[in-house]
Amino acid sequence: MYHNILVPISFDADRDTSGTLKLAKLLATPDAKITLLHVVEHIPGYAISYMPADYLREAREAIQGQLNDLAAELPNARGVVIEGHSGRSILDWAEENGPDLIIIASHRPGMQDLLLGSTASQVVRHARCAVHVVR
C-alpha cells in the first residue's frame, strides 16, 4: 500500500483514465494522498499569436475543472496543472513532492516507442520511486 501517489492524467481523446484511477484507489492506504497531475505543453511562440488572448487561461481553468471532477471520485485526491514537457515535468514534480508511487497510462506503442509510450518510458527509466504502467 502507498501513502503518496502521483497519477499523471492526459486528456487526449484516445486516453481512458479509469484504469489508472481504479488502481490508485486500490493501492492507496486509507490516509494516502493522491495527486492527479496534468502537464500543459508549451505552445510555440509562432502559434500563440494566432490564438485568442485568454485562450491559455481558459484552457488551464477547464483542465483544472476536469481534474477536480476526477479527484472528487477518490479519497484525499487533488488535481494539479503544471506547464512544460510531459516526461521531464512529471519527473521534476515527483522529485519535488516525493511520491512513493507513480501510476501512468501508456498507449499502444509504435515501433518508434519500442515498448512503452515516450512519456511513460521516460518516467519508468528515470523516476526514483515505484512506477506502475497501465495499458
For residue 11, the domain's CATH number is 3.40.50.620
Cα 77 to chain centroid distance, Å, stands at 13
Lowest mean pLDDT among 29-38, 46-55, 75-84, 103-112: 103-112
Residue pair 119/86 in contact (Cβ under 8 Å)? The answer is yes
Count of domains forming the chain: 1
How large is the average pLDDT for residues 116-124? 84
C-alpha grid cell, residue 15: 486516453
- pLDDT tens-digit readout, 64-113: 999 999 999 999 999 999 999 999 999 999 999 999 999 999 876 554 44
C-alpha grid cell, residue 99: 511520491
The pTM score is 0.90
23: helix, coil or strand? helix
Q: Which amino acid is at 9?
A: I
- What pLDDT, on a 0 to 100 scale, did the predictor assign at position 48? 80
- What pLDDT, on a 0 to 100 scale, did the predictor assign at position 110? 53
How far is residue 93's CA from residue 104's CA, in Å, rounded to a whole number? 14
Q: For residue 63, give the H/E element and its range.
A: helix 55-71
How far is residue 68's CA from residue 79's CA, in Å, rounded to a whole number? 5
How far is residue 38's CA from residue 80's CA, in Å, rounded to a whole number? 6
Residue pair 67/36 in contact (Cβ under 8 Å)? The answer is yes
Q: Which domain covers residue 49, as residue numbers? A: 2-134
- What pLDDT, on a 0 to 100 scale, did the predictor assign at position 113? 45
How large is the average pLDDT for residues 25-53? 92
**pLDDT, the chain, mean:** 91
How far is residue 77's CA from residue 24's CA, in Å, rounded to a whole number? 10
